Each structure stands twice: as C-alpha cells, then as structure tokens.
Structure 1
Amino acid sequence: MNARARRALVLLLALLCGLGSLCARAQGLDLARPEPRLDPGVLLEALADPQARLEPLQALQAPGWTPATPRQLNPDMRQGLVPGRLWLRLRLVNQGPQSVTRWVAVGAWRIEHMRAYEVEPEGTRVRQAWTGGIEHPLRERPVPGMKNIFPVTLQPGQEMVFLAEVRLRLLVRVDLSVWEPPAFREQEAQEKLLVLVSVGMQLSLAAYFLLQLAARRERVFGLFALWVLLIALHQLSYHGFVYRYLLSEGGPIEPRLRVVLSSLTVGVSLLFLYRALELYRLRPWRRFYRALLAGFAGAAVAVPWMSPVAAGVATMLLVLLALLFTPLSMWAAWRHRLPRFRICLLHYCVWWGVSALRVLQLTVLPLLVSWDDDLMQWTNLGIVAMVLHAVMSHYHGTVRDKLDAQAALLRAQAEEQARLERAVQERTRALQDALIAARDADAAKSDFLARVSHDLRTPLTSILGYAGLLSGAGRREAEHGRVILRSAQHLLALLNDLIDYARGGVQPDALQLAPLYTAALLENLAAEGRALAARQGNRFELQVRGALPTAVEADAKRLRQVLQNLLANAAKFTRGGRVAFEVEVAPEPDEAGCCRFRFTVRDTGPGIEAAVLPHLFEPFQRSRAADRPEGLGLGLAIARQWTERMGGRIAAESRPGEGTCMRVELALRPVSEEAIARPQRMLEQEQPPELDGSGRRLWVVEDSAAVREMLCAELEGLGFEVLALDGGMQALARLDDAAAPAPDLVLTDLQMPGADGHAVLAALRARWPALPVVLLSAALESRLREPAGFSAVLGKPVSRAQLRTTLAGLLGLTLDEGGCEAAPAAALQPPPPEYLSEFARLVRLGAVSDVADWAAQLAAAQPPWSGFLERLRALAEQGDLKGCERMLAAPAGVAAEPA
C-alpha cells in the first residue's frame, strides 16, 4: 500500500469516528446501561461564559459548545482569577423498558456556587432547577452529601438535557459522572473511610508527640504535634467534613477557613524546621525565617478581609518564596553541624516535594490537579516515615543508654551489696546482743512482778485478816480495825491495778481467746452494773440493738474487766442519776467475717473537764469531778491497753455537768455452739440438788450435737428416758407419727434451721395442749422476758441446779437438798473466817477479777484450801456473784458485811 492509500484510509477512519461521536452525542447517554457508574466521555460538552451573563436557555442555544476538555474542567491560576462561569451540557436518554433513576454527581465538592437544570430535549423549557455549592446551606441540596448530587428519573423512551452552571474558582476540579444511587453511596463511604483512617493516623502521631513533650519537656515535640494536628484539620476541611458536619449552613466561612488552615500548616512546618535545626543561631537565617513566619501569620489573619482567591494566591507566593530559599538554610545547617539534621532533612524533603507539586498545579501543570488526593496521602506517608525514623532513633538511643545505665547499676549494686552484707553482719550481732539483753530484762521484770505481787499481797492478806478480826471484836478497837481494813483494801486495789498494768506491758500476747455465750456475758455484766449503780441510788438500763450472735470468740476475763471498769466508774461518779449500758451490733459482718460490737456506758454524772479529756486514758490520770478521787488512775489506762490488745478502740465524750459517754468498739468473731467448751455449756458453779426422774419421758430438741449430747447425758444420769431430736424438722416429723408415745416434758432450742422453737411449740400444743415445754435460749431477749406459750425459759449456758429445779416444778418431782449441801463442806476445806470475810468484801465490790487472782495465789500457797479456792475462782471467772456469796456464806456462816 502506497502513501496515498494509507492517508486515505486514515482520513476515512477519522471521518467514521467523528460521525460516530456525532451520532452518540445526538443520541445521548443511555441511563439504562447496566454499569453502576457511567462516564459521559465525549458526550459531555462545555461552554465558557467569561462575563457570566448568560441565562440557562440562552446558554443552551449559544454557539461555542465543544466537547469538554481537561483544560476547561481544570482551571489554572489565571482562569481561577477570572470571575466567569462554565456551562456543562449532557443529553440523557432511557432506551430500556423500565423507569430509571440515576444520580448525576458534579465535583469537586469545593465548588462554591453552581446550579443544575433539567431541560426539555428541544431546549425550550426548564423542567426543574437545583442548587449546589458550599455557599448555600446543605439542606437546599436535593441529596445531602459531600459532592453535588442531582437525581434524574426517566421513563422508558424519555430523554432530557442536563445543564450545569459552575462558577470558576482557583484549583477547583470539575468532573461529571452518572451513578446508580447504591453504587455512589458505597464509593462515597470508601472515600470517607480512607480519609478518616489517614486522619486517625495523624491524630495518633500527634498524641505520641504530645506524650514526648510531657516526658522530655522539649518544645520541638510540641511544634511537631501542632503541625500534624493542623494537617489533620486541613485534610478534614479539604475533603468536606467541616462543611458536611459543622458549617452546613454555607456561606464564605468554609473557603476562608481552608486557606487559614493551609497558611498555618505551612507556617508551623517552617517553625518546626527553624526550632528543630536551631537556625536561630545563624543571624541571617534567623531574620529570614522570622520574616517568612510573620508573612504566613499575616496572611492567615488577613483572610477574613480578602477573597479566598486572593488569600490563596498570597499564601502560594509565600510558599514559593520558602521553596526557593529553604534549601540554602538546610545547606547552612549541614555546614554548621546543627542538631537533628537527619530527621529535619527527611521532614524537609517531604514538605518541599509536596509544596513544589502544589505550585506546579497552580502554574505550569494544571492537569496535575487530578493528583490532589494522592498528594495528601503522600504527605501522610512522609510524616509516618519521619516519625518512624524519629522513634527508631530514639529507641536505639534509649536502649544504648539503658544498657550503659544497667551496667553501671550492676556495678553499683555489687558494691552496695558487699557493703550491706558487712552492715547486716554487724547489725545481726548487735541485734542478737540486744535480744539477749531484752530477754533477760523481760525475765527480770516478770520475776520482779511475781516477787512484788507475792511479797506485797502476803502481808496485806494478814493485815486484812487481823483488821477484820479487830473490826468484829465489838470492843473499842473495832473502829481502829475498820480504819485499818479500809486502808488495806484500798492499798490492795491499788496494788492490783499496778501489777495488772505492768503485766500487760510484759505479756503483750496474754489474750486467752475462747468461745462463750454472748447473752450470758451481757446478762452477768448487766447484773453487776445494776448492783454497782444501786449503791449510789442510780437507775440502771440495759439496751441492745441489732441481732446478737449466739456465741463469740473472745477473752471473757479481759472483756469483762474492761466493761466492769467503765460501769464501776459510771456508778462511782454518779449519784441519784442514770447509768445506761448499751450494746449495738452492726447489721453486716466486716471483711474478716467478724461482728462489729459497740459497747456504750452513759451516765448523768458531773462530766469531765475539757482539759482532762484528751489525757483521760493515760496512766495515773484522775478526774477532779469526784469529791475525793480514789485510786492511782490506772483503770482507764488498763481498759485502753486491753481494748487495743483485742483489736478494738476506746473513746470518751463528756461535757461538764452533762455526764459522760464511754465507747468500746470491738470486732468479735461469731462461732457455733459446737465450739463452746463443755464446762461453759452447763454451769457447775454450785452443788445442784438431787432429782430422781425414773419413769419420766423427755424430748430434747436441739440442733447443736454438742449441747444435745450434754443435756442427754445430764438427764439420763438423773434417770429420765430421753429422746434426742436433731432440730425442729425432726421433731415435727416425730409428731406426725400417731403411734409415738407422748412425752412428759419437752426441752427445745429457740433458733433452729427449718423450724424454730415457736414452730415446735405450736405443733406440740396442737397435739398435747397441757404438755410442759421448756425453752432453751441463748438470746438475750428471751432471757429478759419470757416468750408467750412456753412453760419456762432456761438460758444458755444451762445451770444444772436451775435445770433440776425447773424439771421438778413442772413434773411434780421432789428435790433432795439436805445431804447435798453438806457434801461440799465436808469434801472442801475452806480458809479461816478472816479470809472468807475478805473474799466476801471483794464480791460485794464486784471485783471478780481480784477474787479470781487472789484465790489462785492463795490456793498455791495453802494446798489444803485449794479445792475450795479453785471452785471459788471458777465462779468468779464466770461472773457468778450470787454463787460466790452462797459459797462464802455456807461453809462458815460468814455474813456479808455492809459496804
């Protein structure tokens, strides 16, 4: 084929392509095509309107329409400065059999003003008009979104002309595409996600550098964090998030905000470079950078009084100036070996490359505008690379410093360890010597206390005995004897306090914890408090708040000593008033499972002076409220000592003339009745009368196996036929047996799982109305007032004598008390009458601890009296004052002297 034929063939092909495009343009873009996105291509026509004078129908009929070119759709700096318009025209048809709805998207979203029209195919009438652009509120758009979206619906065979009017602005890329609505929303969501991921990465970097700023106190990290934050804000504004979610009412604010963010971003980037490289050391560059930064700041401040185009041009000129001269500043930094040159060089290369491409977009190569979003991503990647470089450099430096520090620390630790070993050896030898000396001192102190106790109590015992003989002689010397007796008694009380206080310091772990019945302890204390209060004409009250546990673990002797001391003080300093003993139990146990008790002793006495109150629990402190203060002032000190030893605390509140309130708070662990020792489950403080229960049938309903076995052994030893029932449920099951023989008497516990004592009583009364039912209760309320319906109430611990007396009264049995009372006197040899008289005096005073201590010491000194004294000591430790009085009066007929 020769050259002429080839030219003819090329001309023919060009003619055919032109005819094809003309036919397609005449036919229009078919919306029924199955593609989710339709690109108009050559079908999109453009018309320039530099003067912005044409109306829609005029523009549609005006000559000069040409296929849209990239030059027209992407204006450069010169075109952006011209206040003109760009008209776009696209013919749309529906050649399918069904109605079709498509969205026409005109971008970019940064277009400030545009309008779109749906025109008749002949171009004679506008069917519908829409508004778009960021100058107008978002609610005025037909479809809210980042881009300008216009819905178009065509029936089968219908066609229309889509006409768009766009106001030209600087760096606004104009494109037009036709979408299926779901496909457009999916594409928009992907674009949003990419932008938000990029922004999230930038915010993470900013947070990292803010942490570095807080840790290392270097301004460079703060500047870098600010720069990254401004980049993130500029990116959000650039992609329309600010207009979409914050400035949706439109107006000129958003375009100006974007220019302000651009100026601040570049300015802070240069400020970071200036501070990080420490270019302020070089005088010429210090002046240049300050002038350049002032220019960026001025451009950002002047934006509200300038048009967005003019502000953008001013910012771009400043960026161009920075691009030309900052390479020289980097060369100067390298030459003068300024710090952080490597990281700043990486930062500068990224910034310089991106800024250079932006300048080329505006001037020489406007078609590069299509790379706009890619430039943003490259900027982010550059920031990431720079941060990674900084982090790795910092990490390697930190690791190196850490290894050096560890080596130095190991050397220092080795030296310190050697020194400490020598010091420990020396200290160990000194402590061993001190421990030996302390043990010797403690042993010497214990021996001293024992010797003092023995040497002082022995002559006092003789003095008390002969004083008692003189006081009862009936001669003139009787008055002298009573004076000697009172003085000796006072001296013995002082001696007991001194030894007890000193013993508490020598034996810090002298507590003897044992399970005991709570109600029995409080009942005994109340009885002693009532007797003490009555001596001064006081009224005594006992108040209990909260649910008392059946049994607790405590040192009964020390707890009774503390509370007796408080009750004795209240009764001693109050006359004709009121003494109240209050017991409060917290509703919930503490973390260790202990019940919180609060014991309060209130009186209406003279009160305590404010100056004395802070020192009240110190040793040898005595209140001046009494007419004649007695004692050494150790009672409250001993009370505080033992209270703190038991893990509690003691406090006092008082006002002169208004009485005194003493509080003791303790945590006592509740225990089961099974843990209580057998001697404390049944009192044996007195010789019980003999009773013959042969032929009588008894039921014992008790859920505690230990208490049940103890009662059964006691009753079977008296000849009774006993049926032991494990709790109320077993008793109710026994009652369901119609063939079961009726008992003569039933003893039942009060608190039992499933069915308590009241349920057992109701069932027994329903079957045998006249059957005697005796309640066994450890509850204080049941002991103070007899529950209705029961024949009798016995408190726990159960008294053998009271048990036998109650059974005899309800069953009509005969008690044999004659020989039983003489048996202990024959078997137990009592001390002489003078000793018994002194014991009786201590019992009347309520000094049960002194009775127990003196009885133990006297039993060790006088073995023939040990049996009698041991029983007396047991009664005193259990707080049974009445039993002590009966035992002291019975053997020798010693009558209790009046106090």
Structure 2
Amino acid sequence: MQSPEWENINVSVLQEGYREGAFWLRGQLRNDSPVPVTRWLAMGSARLQDVQLHLSEPLTAGVPGAGLRWQPPQVAGTKYASAQREVQGRTALFALTLAPGEQRTMVLRVAGSSVIELGVALWDPAVFREEEGRELAIQAFVIGIALVLVTYALIQGVEWRDRGSVLMAVWICSALLFILSFQGYLYLYLLPRGGMWLVRVPITLGCLTTLLHLRMSYLLVSLDQLPRWERRWKRIYDVMSAALIVVTIWIAAGDFRATAPVANAIAATCYLMWAASMLHGWRHGLDNARLLAISFGLAWSAMWLKMLELNGLIVHGILPDWQFSTLFQLGLLGVASTMVVGRALQLHHKFEQMQWSVLSLRMREQFKLEQAVNHRTSELRAALEVADHARHSKNGFFTSISHDLRTPLTSILGFADMLQAAGGEQGRYGRIIVRSARHMLSMINDLIDYAHGDRMDLSQPRPLYVHGLLQTIGQEGAALARRQHNAFSLDVSPALPPVLRIDAPRLRRLLGNLLDNAAKYTREGSIRLEVGWQAAAVRSGTGVMEMRVSDTGSGIPLHYHASVFEPFERAGADRSQPGLGMGLALVRQWIQQMDGQIALQSQPGQGTVLTLQLPVALADEQDIARDDCREDSNTHPLIDGTGRRLLVVEDSPDIADLLVEQLEMLAFEVELYADGESAVARIMQTDKPAPALVLTDYLLPAAKGGEVLRATRQHLPGVPVLLLSATLRPPTDRPDDLAFDACLLKPVNFMELQETLARLLGLPLPQLGSALAGTVAAVGTVAAVAATSETTGDTAGQDPLPPQESLQQARVLIDSGAVSDLLDWGDALLQQHPQCAGFQSRVGQLLREGDLFAVEALVNTALEAVRAGE
C-alpha cells in the first residue's frame, strides 16, 4: 500500500476479464460539510469473489499517505458469508462515516477466479435502498410474468402432449435462475454462506440455458423438415448439445478459471449457429423460425454485448448489470410470450384440423358402418330364418326320436324287473341292469333336454344316501373290471357321512368315466376305488369328499400329464381302444364346475392314480325327498306276507311311510316305531304277539339299532333282525349272536327287500317263467280270437284284425325299432279301419309300456290268423 507505482485511471468501470492475481485501487475520502456524513461504497458487479477494504485512520493535516495507520480490513464478495459483512446486499457494500473536515485514505483489494469487473461508487444509504427496491420491484414483476408463462406452457404441453411447450417452460425457468445468479439474488436469498459454488453457478446455468434453448428451438422449428439440410442441422445441433453438456459438467466440477473462457466461447458459437439455422428456416418458410428469430433478437443482442464486456472487448458503460438483466429479461419475456401464444395458436389450428379430419373420417366410417350393418342385418335375418327352420326341424326330429331312444331302455327295464322277480343271483343281476339302464335313461333325457335348449352345465346337488350311490357305482365298476379279467375293490372310509348334498348323476358320470378308463387300459390287474372324507376346519356343515381311482395298468408318460385333460387327447395310448379321448376332459370340466379339483399321478408300467377332491355339504336324512328314499319306482309283489307281523323301527317319516305302504301291500301286518327306546319297550312286552321279523335302522334317537338287536336276541330269540342302513359297513364289533341277520342299504330297493324277506321268513319266490306269463297274455288273447274266428267263421262280438298289408307294414317298422312310426301306424290304422280300434288300443298300450317284444308277438299272431282265414 506504500508502493510508489500507483497509476491514475480515468474510467468509471475497470473491466479486466479473466485475470490472475489481485487488483488494488487507492483513493481519498474527504468530508467538506459541517456535519458527519455516512456513505456506502458499492462495487458494481455482484460476481466479485474477494473484496477487501483497507481504511486509514482519520487525517486532519499533512500529506496524504504519509505515516498512515490502517484499520482492520472489511471484507465482501461471494467468498465470504453474508454474516461477515457489515452491510447486507447483493453486491459488495462498505459503510463509510466521516466527521466534518475528516479525510481518509482507502485501499481496495479485488481478487477471484471470475471476471474482474470494478465499478466503484458512493451512495447515500437511503437513495441506495430506494434504487435497490425499485430494481427489485421490476425484477419481481418480470419474474411473475415469466412464472405465469411457465405455468401456461406446462399446462399446454401436458394437456396437448406437446414436448416443445414443456421444454419451453423448463428453458424459461433455467433462464430466470441464470439471471438471478448473475445479479446476486441467489447469494442474497438462497446461498448466504458464500463459497466457490456462487462463482460456478452463473456460467453453469448459462451453459444449461443455452443447451435447453437449442433443443427447444430445434423441436419447435422442426429443422428436420428442411430439404437436403435435415441431417446436417441435426448433426450440428447434436454436436453443439454434446459440447455444451461436456462444458457444463466441466464448469461445475473442473478448473473454473481454465474452463470459463472456453465455455463462453462455445456458448457464443452455439448462438451464432442458432441464428444461422433460424435464418435458414425463415428463408424456407418455417413459421416458428421467423417467430423465434424476431422474438429472441433483443435478448440475443443484449447477451452478445454482455459477453463482449465480460471479455474486456468493449467499454462497460454501454450496458450495466441491471440494465443487461432487464434487457435480457424483457427479451426473454418477449420470446416466451410470443412462442407460447404462437405455439398455442399453432396447436389450436392443428387441433381444429385434426378435429375436422376425425369428423370427416367418422362420417365416412359411419356411412360405411351403416352399409355394413344393413348388409349384416339382412344376412342375420336370413340366417335367423334358416336357424328357426332348423330349430323346428330339430324339435320335430327329437320329438320323434325321443320315443325311439327311450323305448328300448324301457323294454330293458321291464325284462330286468322280471329278472329281479326271479330272486337269487338272477335277481341281483336284474337290479344291476335296472340301475344302469335308469342311469342311461337319465343321460338320454339330459341329452334331449340339452337339444331342446335346457342348461346341462349347472350342478344340481340335493340330499341323498351317498353310501348307496357308491355301492351302485362299485357294482358298475366291478362289471367293467371283469371285461379284461381285472379284480375290483371298493373302500369307503367309515368317516364318510351317510347323507350328503351332492349332484348324484354327475358324480356317477365322473367316477364312471374314470373306472371305464381304468378298465380299458388294465389287463389281468386290479382296479380300486377309495372314498375318504375330510371335515371342514373353517366352516361347520361342509367337508371334502376325496375319491381316488387307482389301477395297475399301462400308466401315462410324464410329458402327457398335461395334455390328457384336453379334448381328443389319448396320451399316445393304444388307438385300437374305443373312444374319442373326451373322458378326462369332461371329468376336469365337470369337477371344476362343482368347485372341485383333480390330480394325476402316473408312470409308465406302474399304473395310474386319479384323485378327485369335491367340496360337499352335509345333509340330514329328513331332507331327502320322498322319491329319493326308494331306488325302484315300480314294485311287483313277489311274496305273500299274510298272517305275519313285522316290527319296523325308522325315524325318517318318509322312509317309514314307504316301508309301511309297501309291506302292507305284501299283506304284512306292520307295527311302526320312530325311535329305538319305544321299539325296545315293545319287544320286552311278552303279553303281545311276537313279530315274525324286526326291521330297524341303526342311527336312531334314544337307542341305536344295536340296542334293538340286543333286546330282540334276549326277549325274542329266533326272530330275525334286518338292518336297513345308510352306510356300507354295519358294526362288526359284536359277537356272532349279536350280528344282524341281513343288511340292506338305503335308498330302499323293494325288489331286494322282498327277496331278503323271503329268505329270512322262508317264503316262496315265483319262477322266471311265470313272470313272463303276463307278457304273452295279450298274444294268447289274439290267438284265441283267431282260433274262434277260424272255427266258427263268426267274428261277432270279437275285435276284427287289420288287413294283411297293414300288418306286414307294422312288421317292417318293428324290425327297424321305429316306435314313433308304429304309433303313427296305429293312428292311420284307426282312421282307415275304425273297426280295428280294439287291436290298435292293445298295440298302443304295449308300446307305451315299452314292450316291443309283445307287440311283435301280437302282430305275428294276427298276421298268421289273417293268412289262415284266407
């Protein structure tokens, strides 16, 4: 400070650009007024990094600078925290107070990595704050307008999905931050602790703003539409963007003093190239190019002047900082306002064009659609007419064929009933035939109902005796297993409840398909059906019925496990086996419709195990419908119980009523008791007539069937006890003298009941030949009529026979099994030959009963009689 090499300067602002080292300024301060004066020494630039003020002690006389004593220095600049400064402000400020006539020497030391820009001025504090407030108000007004434009651009970009508008909003925000950092507002309000970052932020934000401006301009102007230049401008803009990205990162993290001039040069070059591209686009008629070039001209000019100043190429006084900021912001607002409004108008026009295009396309498509709908409607109307005709034809076909499908089964049922009447092994076979035929008749009825449009895919569970159902399925499975010399076994868990709410026809088909598959692919092996029960753990009254069908057949390879459940897939099995491969597909479909699951375990040569898990609900015996309490619908009396008393113990009213009704029809005297306790009391009464047989249920109120058995053995020795149970396995933990004489399963099969009663009571059963006597009664009547006519030649009082031609036509229909055509033949016979009404009536009755064999015998006898009479 005592150096003699001080030089006088005659400029108001000293602009030295980027220089190393420190700059020193010395001056004299004197107060010539009669009062103390306070002034603020202000440095013009807000970007000065390190400013120190050295102030001498007061001088009242002598030569300035001689023998000076210096006060501790005051500091300012972005290097220091705002709290270290005596006067707060966005620029470097020092407070100076001089007494009247006082004179001092000041020395300023300025150093830093950024541009050295010195402009020293003394301000009255009130005037300075007034000027500062005015600048701040202008700045807030400009920022407010800019934020409104940012909001509008963002809304416009999001609403219309316009990337250019969104990029414009981001660019405006970046430019505002650049201006605020350039003027020192970031240091004043956001980063008051100071530091090197305040030196890097302005130029870093400047490079980022330039990068965003380039990308926004390229997108809004659509430079890729310029003929023969689309690839060139794209390459140029990509190179400029890459350079700006590199220099921005370098400025933020590298050597600032070495990078800052390079960054300014790159930014200046980018703006020159931008101007050239806008002029090129303007020349080729790109509207946004003209708009950007005009609107950004003011801001672009201010920025270029400031760059020249920062590098010391022009005099500072042309454009002070606040004027540059104002000019740049006004240019920025002009650019933003013009672009936002212009972009909005452009998008609105484009949107209107799109609306008109869509409306035009919609009208054309609507017209085409109307034509297609009209054409399709006419086709559908024609198809509906064809379908309606086909439906009527189908209904007529099924109406006629339903008789042809049902009648053979009805005949089978009739002859099976005769077999049941024979008793013994033939009776057992007859019962199996009856159950299977009824099951097939039910499936035929379902098929016909489905053909008529009824739903078959809905499960219809209802309460039934599940053990009886399983025994029937087991008998069918045993018959299937015997076809290829297989052994069959049925294992039902004792835990399985006797009555469940289940869809019996569907369950029978499920297990029937699985057993049929097992029987097809197993030879001289074994087939097993196991049924278990798992009570529900969460909700009472329900459980899971687990059914497992296992065999020792050929097995299924692992890679076929998934495909065997698909329609028409047979897992590479022997194609000589009958079937279409639909069995397992239907099983899976049905079990899923019943909310169940199916699992397959199989290996080649080790057999197959299929497991079904079916959730079912528990039911009570009282819930079973009356028609489901009996297995057979038609009962022929086989035995005569006259003079014999039966004691019946049954708690279900429906079953009790059926037993009493059927037993009384067989001439038995029946005593009915609804609980075991009252039955035991009756057995113990020796003064009343002893029953010939006791028929009891097992699960009874008050006392079980075992107590009834014990009382009978004790008080009525020699009287047989017949158990009618809902489970497959009667209790076996009793001595031989306390075992039931016979056991029957519910639902009640009265043919089987009659056979069992005949065996236990020693009653005779009719022979099979006498059971057929009723079938040929009608034939004998016709033969007698023919013989009478032939002997006497007088048909008075007898039904006349049809002509030979008509009877021969009937024989053709009988040979083809056309039952419906036979009914039509009878109607035509009655119209053409009313005198044959009796014959026609007998034929119709036999057809309704399904006895085609009797009809054939009747027609053959009549035909022989007519031929003999000729």
Q: Cα distance, 1:509 vs. partner?
A: 0.7
| Pairing partner for 2:753 from 870, 881, 889 | 889
Q: Do 1:115 and 1:164's aligned partners in 2 also have CA atoms closer than 8 Å? A: yes
| Pairing partner for 2:299 from 344, 348, 351 | 351
The reply to whether residue 654 of structure 1 matches residue 602 of structure 2 is yes
Aligned to 1:405: 357
| Pairing partner for 1:259 from 172, 186, 203 | 203
Aligned to 1:579: 530
The correspondence of residues 557-636 of structure 1 with structure 2, limited to 5 A, is 557-559=505-507, 562=510, 575=526, 579-581=530-532, 600-606=546-552, 608-610=555-557, 613=561, 616=564, 636=584
The reply to whether residue 509 of structure 1 matches residue 380 of structure 2 is no
The reply to whether residue 393 of structure 1 matches residue 345 of structure 2 is yes
The reply to whether residue 456 of structure 1 matches residue 408 of structure 2 is yes
The correspondence of residues 172-251 of structure 1 with structure 2, limited to 5 A, is 231=175, 234=178, 238=182, 250-251=195-196
Aligned to 1:112: 49
Aligned to 1:499: 444
Any idea what SS the aligned residue of 1:884 has? coil
The reply to whether residue 805 of structure 1 matches residue 751 of structure 2 is no
Q: Deviations over 1:720-756 (max 9, x none)?
A: xxxxxxxxxxxxxxxxxxxxxxxxxxxxxxxxxxxxx
Query: How far apart in 2 are the matches of 1:229 and 1:379?
Result: 14
Q: Deviations over 1:189-232 (max 9, x none)?
A: 9999999989977876886798799x68x9x7898688557536
Query: How far apart in 1 are the matches of 2:93 and 2:678?
Result: 105
Q: Deviations over 1:306-351 (max 9, x none)?
A: 9967876777788889999988986776555344344324443353
The correspondence of residues 1-80 of structure 1 with structure 2, limited to 5 A, is 54=1, 75-76=14-15
The correspondence of residues 701-740 of structure 1 with structure 2, limited to 5 A, is none
Aligned to 1:28: none
Look up the equivalent residue of 1:352 and give its one-letter code.
W
Distance 1:315 1:491, change over 3 A: closer
Q: Cα distance, 1:352 vs. partner?
A: 2.8
TM-score in terms of structure 1 length: 0.49
Query: How far apart in 2 are the matches of 1:193 and 1:382?
Result: 16
Aligned to 2:285: 337
Look up the equivalent residue of 1:581 and give its one-letter code.
G
Query: How far apart in 2 are the matches of 1:297 and 1:622?
Result: 66
TM-score in terms of structure 2 length: 0.50
Distance 1:297 1:452, change over 3 A: closer
Aligned length: 628
Any idea what SS the aligned residue of 1:454 has? helix
Query: How far apart in 2 are the matches of 1:889 and 1:647?
Result: 37
Q: Cα distance, 1:262 vs. partner?
A: 2.8
Distance 1:690 1:409, change over 3 A: same
The reply to whether residue 378 of structure 1 matches residue 355 of structure 2 is no
Q: Do 2:473 and 2:511's aligned partners in 1 also have CA atoms closer than 8 Å? A: no
Q: Cα distance, 1:660 vs. partner?
A: 1.4
Q: CA RMSD in A?
A: 7.5
Q: Do 1:512 and 1:555's aligned partners in 2 also have CA atoms closer than 8 Å? A: no
Give the share of equivalent positions with the same residue, in percent: 18
Q: Cα distance, 1:294 vs. partner?
A: 8.0
Q: Do 2:551 and 2:608's aligned partners in 1 also have CA atoms closer than 8 Å? A: yes
Query: How far apart in 2 are the matches of 1:286 and 1:582?
Result: 78
Query: How far apart in 2 are the matches of 1:107 and 1:677?
Result: 106
Distance 1:259 1:274, change over 3 A: same
Query: How far apart in 2 are the matches of 1:513 and 1:501?
Result: 13
Query: How far apart in 2 are the matches of 1:332 and 1:355?
Result: 22
Query: How far apart in 2 are the matches of 1:205 and 1:884?
Result: 87
Aligned to 1:84: 23
Any idea what SS the aligned residue of 1:340 has? helix
Distance 1:268 1:609, change over 3 A: closer
Q: Do 1:361 and 1:368's aligned partners in 2 also have CA atoms closer than 8 Å? A: no
Q: Cα distance, 1:397 vs. partner?
A: 1.4
Q: Do 2:223 and 2:233's aligned partners in 1 also have CA atoms closer than 8 Å? A: no
Q: Do 2:51 and 2:77's aligned partners in 1 also have CA atoms closer than 8 Å? A: yes
Q: Cα distance, 1:412 vs. partner?
A: 0.9
Q: Cα distance, 1:688 vs. partner?
A: 12
Query: How far apart in 2 are the matches of 1:543 and 1:164?
Result: 106
Q: Do 2:29 and 2:105's aligned partners in 1 also have CA atoms closer than 8 Å? A: yes
Which structure has the higher relative contact order (CA within 8 Å, separation 6+)?
2
Distance 1:254 1:385, change over 3 A: same
Aligned to 1:851: none
Query: How far apart in 2 are the matches of 1:801 and 1:76?
Result: 128
Any idea what SS the aligned residue of 1:337 has? coil
The correspondence of residues 245-324 of structure 1 with structure 2, limited to 5 A, is 250-251=195-196, 255=199, 258-259=202-203, 261-263=205-207, 265-266=209-210, 269=213, 276=221, 278=223
Q: Cα distance, 1:166 vs. partner?
A: 4.1
Query: How far apart in 1 are the matches of 2:295 and 2:462?
Result: 82
The reply to whether residue 416 of structure 1 matches residue 368 of structure 2 is yes
Query: How far apart in 1 are the matches of 2:648 and 2:240?
Result: 118
Query: How far apart in 1 are the matches of 2:361 and 2:749?
Result: 77
Q: Deviations over 1:613-655 (max 9, x none)?
A: 55655789889999x9999987656545644665777564433
Q: Deviations over 1:660-713 (max 9, x none)?
A: 1333567x8x9999xx997659996699978999xxxxxxxxxxxxx9xx99xx
Any idea what SS the aligned residue of 1:602 has? strand
Look up the equivalent residue of 2:356 and give its one-letter code.
D
Aligned to 1:875: none
Aligned to 1:167: 111
Q: Cα distance, 1:419 vs. partner?
A: 0.5
Q: Cα distance, 1:436 vs. partner?
A: 1.0
List gaps (5 residues or longer) in structure 1: 1-53, 92-102, 153-159, 180-185, 473-477, 590-594, 694-706, 715-799, 823-842, 847-879
Query: How far apart in 1 are the matches of 2:229 and 2:650?
Result: 124
Look up the equivalent residue of 1:411 and give its one-letter code.
M
Look up the equivalent residue of 1:349 and give its one-letter code.
G
Any idea what SS the aligned residue of 1:579 has? strand
Look up the equivalent residue of 1:460 and give its one-letter code.
I
Aligned to 1:786: none
The reply to whether residue 663 of structure 1 matches residue 527 of structure 2 is no
Look up the equivalent residue of 2:288 and give its one-letter code.
R
Q: Do 1:171 and 1:369's aligned partners in 2 also have CA atoms closer than 8 Å? A: no
Any idea what SS the aligned residue of 1:409 has? helix
Aligned to 1:795: none
Any idea what SS the aligned residue of 2:296 has? helix
Query: How far apart in 2 are the matches of 1:616 and 1:284?
Result: 65
Distance 1:486 1:146, change over 3 A: farther
Q: Which has the larger radius of gyration?
A: 2
Look up the equivalent residue of 1:450 and give its one-letter code.
S
Q: Cα distance, 1:385 vs. partner?
A: 0.7
Q: Do 2:465 and 2:500's aligned partners in 1 also have CA atoms closer than 8 Å? A: no
Q: Do 1:889 and 1:895's aligned partners in 2 also have CA atoms closer than 8 Å? A: no
Aligned to 2:775: none
Q: Cα distance, 1:805 vs. partner?
A: 3.0
Distance 1:432 1:349, change over 3 A: same
Query: How far apart in 2 are the matches of 1:489 and 1:117?
Result: 126
Distance 1:332 1:660, change over 3 A: closer
Query: How far apart in 2 are the matches of 1:524 and 1:512?
Result: 24
Any idea what SS the aligned residue of 2:610 has? strand
Query: How far apart in 1 are the matches of 2:383 and 2:595?
Result: 29
Distance 1:895 1:441, change over 3 A: farther
Q: Do 1:80 and 1:171's aligned partners in 2 also have CA atoms closer than 8 Å? A: no
Query: How far apart in 2 are the matches of 1:621 and 1:372?
Result: 85
The reply to whether residue 429 of structure 1 matches residue 384 of structure 2 is no
Q: Do 1:361 and 1:369's aligned partners in 2 also have CA atoms closer than 8 Å? A: no
